[in-house]
Structure 1
Amino acid sequence: MAHQGEILQEAIKNSGISISKLVQELGITRPTIYRKFKETTLDYSFVKRVGEVIQHDFTDELDTPVQSQLQFTPPAVKHSSVTRSVSLQSVDQDPVKALMALQAKYIALLEAYNELLLKVYGPK
């Protein structure tokens, strides 16, 4: 059975949208999307963003129940007129769920950082 990265790659290929256009819409680089194709599990928010760009629903194809339930909201940051708040969710005592929660939060944080860099420095 194909892993999540392969499923994502196949859906993008079938959509007819070029990788160049996709990475431009997502604000990532080509190497990043190719690394995602090799990953066995993907962050729900990333898959959702790709699905929106290529007009594809991955709900039935990708099973990400833990990640789909965990939404990351960055901590409150006051910089000019931007304010963000913290949203904490309780995670069961299951260490796997706790690790998945941290992974999802970390990935979301990296993506938010990437978006900030794009806003400050612009695309390459």
Structure 2
Amino acid sequence: MPHQGEILQETIKNSGISITRIVDGLGITRPTMYRKFKEETLDYAFVKRVGEIIGHDFSNDFTSSHQSVLPFVTHKADVTPVNTVTNKSSSLQSTEADPIKQLLALQTKYIALLEAYNELLLKVYGPR
């Protein structure tokens, strides 16, 4: 099974867009891009930026085994409920019915914050 870097490389190759155009859009060098192709796991923001440049949505390209190693994605923890919990805690537990959804919502907010921060850095300091 190909790893994330290989999937990225193959998708870029199939897009017909040159590596030069992509690295210029990302503000990185060609050797950096080729190193990314060798990495088993890639940063979500990086993959998203590449997808925007080549007009491709990578969300369907990574299988669930790939997604489990993406940053901030965790497996559901096995939690054994304790019977001695008060009613107040049980009502709190019912509001947290799906911690995976909450985690993904937090991940989305965090990524949006990082992207806004990166845009601010680009405005202040310019591209690399």
Q: What is the TM-score when the length of structure 2 is the normalising length?
A: 0.56
Q: Highest relative contact order (Cα 8 Å, sep 6+), 1 or 2?
A: 2
Higher helix residue share: 2
Structure 1 residues 5-24: aligned runs within 5 Å: 5-24=5-24
Instruction: Give the Å deviation of 1:120.
Output: 3.1
Aligned residue pairs total: 87
Residue of structure 2 aligned with 1:120, choices 107, 122, 125: 125
Superposed CA deviations along residues 28-79 of structure 1, whole A, max 9, x for unmatched, are 11111111100000111111110111011111112435537422436xxxxx
Give the conservation status (yes or no) of the 8 Å contact 1:27–1:118: no
Gaps of 5+ in 2: 74-103
How far apart, CA to CA, are the structure 1 residues paired with 2:126 and 2:49? 22
Structure 1 residues not aligned, in runs of 5+? 75-83, 85-108
* Higher Rg: 2
Are the structure 2 counterparts of residues 17 and 3 from structure 1 closer, same or farther at C-alpha, using a change threshold of 3 Å?
same
**Equivalent position of 1:64 in the other structure:** 67
Classify 1:118/1:6 alpha carbon distance in 2 versus 1 (closer, same or farther; 3 Å): farther
After the TM superposition, list the runs of 4 or more consecutive aligned residues in structure 1 that deviate by more than 2 angstroms.
63-74, 115-123
User: In structure 1, what is the Cα distance between the partners aligned to 2:12 and 2:61?
Assistant: 13
Tell me if the contact between 1:44 and 1:64 (Cα under 8 Å) persists in the aligned partners. Answer: no
Q: TM-score, with normalisation over the residues of structure 1?
A: 0.57
1:50 to 2:55 alignment: no
Q: Within 2, Cα distance between the matches of 1:37 and 1:23?
A: 13
Which deviates more, 12-21 or 59-68?
A: 59-68
Q: Do 2:27 and 2:127's aligned partners in 1 also have CA atoms closer than 8 Å?
A: no
Match of 2:78 in 1: none
Which one-letter code corresponds to 1:61 in the other structure?
D
| Inter-CA distance 118–5: structure 2 relative to 1 (3 Å threshold) | farther
Note the aligned Cα RMSD (angstroms). Answer: 2.8
